[in-house]
Amino acid sequence: MHPIQQKILSLAKSQNIAGLTLRKIGELISEPDAPQKIKHHIDKLKEKGLLLSGEGGKHLKPASGGIDKMSSLVSLPILGSANCGEATMYADGAIEGYLKVSLRILGEKFRNKLDDLFVLRASGNSMNRANVHGKTIDDGDYVIAERIHEAPKSGEYIVSIIEGLANIKKFLIDTKNEHIILAPESSLDFSPIYIHKEDYSGYFVGGRVVDVIKKPDEFMDSSAGDILKYGKPIREVDYSSKKKKK
């Protein structure tokens, strides 16, 4: 995230910035005489869903995770990208935005664990033959992970951090050779990552993969696009009739 955006969010946490001029906001975050720059970064924060406008624009406040009791939509923090290839994405933990997901998609078992859930965008194709509840992990997909406080089990898909770099792999334990394997599952030729038990100091597990939200262009056809375009709610009977016609 841009440093100016971080400063604006910090200021918005301490006071309502909607009533301040752009020039005043700039002065408060040590960016004087740059109102257009301040406007640009405020607009970017709104686009990302990190800064929310309320009461007809009278309030500007930072977004926060959790469940909306009225809609049952859950806001999960997007922490950036995790590589599905070589570990090249930094895992700095900075929130880039929020993914809104229906609680029914997550499942009731996560209702009391929402604070442990986070989202990463998959980058690369080394997990395009993974099987997370029947879903692969392709470039651009949203991967939902759960922070865990115990060692992962062999065969689980995990977000691992190696020397500050994040990657998504299948966790395998090789007890005979006393090492773990971070294995790709891909249609392409990717090499596994091997870590000996004596070399765990620069490695830790950031979370367990619990679900994958596929990127929209993989499943949206023209009829789905029309429904979204005109704002028509999808009822169960609509969905059932569409399946019969195919």
Give the span between the Cα atoms of 117 and 70, in whole angstroms.
21
Give the span between the Cα atoms of 208 and 153, in whole angstroms.
10
Q: Are residues 204 and 117 in the same domain?
A: yes
For 191-229, the pLDDT digits (tens) are: 999 998 788 766 778 899 999 999 886 555 544 444 444
Q: Are residues 13 and 101 in the same domain?
A: no
| Count of C-beta atoms within a 10 Å radius of residue 47 | 10
Q: Are residues 112 and 202 in the same domain?
A: yes
For 153-168, the pLDDT digits (tens) are: 999 999 988 777 788 9
Report the chain's terminal Cα–Cα distance, integer Å.
44
Q: Are residues 123 and 46 in the same domain?
A: no
Tokens of 121: 């965008």
Q: Are residues 24 and 72 in the same domain?
A: no
The residue from 46, 62, 78 where one domain ends is 62
- CATH at residue 184: 2.10.109.10
- pTM of whole model > 0.75? no
E-strand stretches of 55-156:
59-62, 66-67, 73-83, 89-90, 97-102, 117-123, 142-146
Q: Which are the contacts of 245, defined by CB distance < 8 A and separation ≥ 6?
A: none
For 45-101, the pLDDT digits (tens) are: 887 777 877 666 678 877 766 676 666 788 888 888 887 766 665 555 577 888 888
Q: Are residues 167 and 115 in the same domain?
A: yes
Q: How many domains does the chain have?
A: 3
Q: Which domain holds residue 25?
A: 3-62
Q: Are residues 150 and 230 in the same domain?
A: no
Q: Are residues 220 and 149 in the same domain?
A: no
Question: pLDDT value at position 243?
Answer: 47
Q: Which are the contacts of 119, defined by CB distance < 8 A and separation ≥ 6?
A: 76, 77, 78, 79, 99, 142, 143, 144, 145
Q: Are residues 71 and 99 in the same domain?
A: yes
Task: Examine the pLDDT at 27 and tell me if it is beyond 80.
Answer: yes
Q: Are residues 126 and 207 in the same domain?
A: yes
Burial of 221 (0-12, 13-18, 19+ CB in 10 A): exposed
**Secondary structure of the chain: what % helix, strand, coil (to 5)?**
30, 30, 35
- CATH at residue 13: 1.10.10
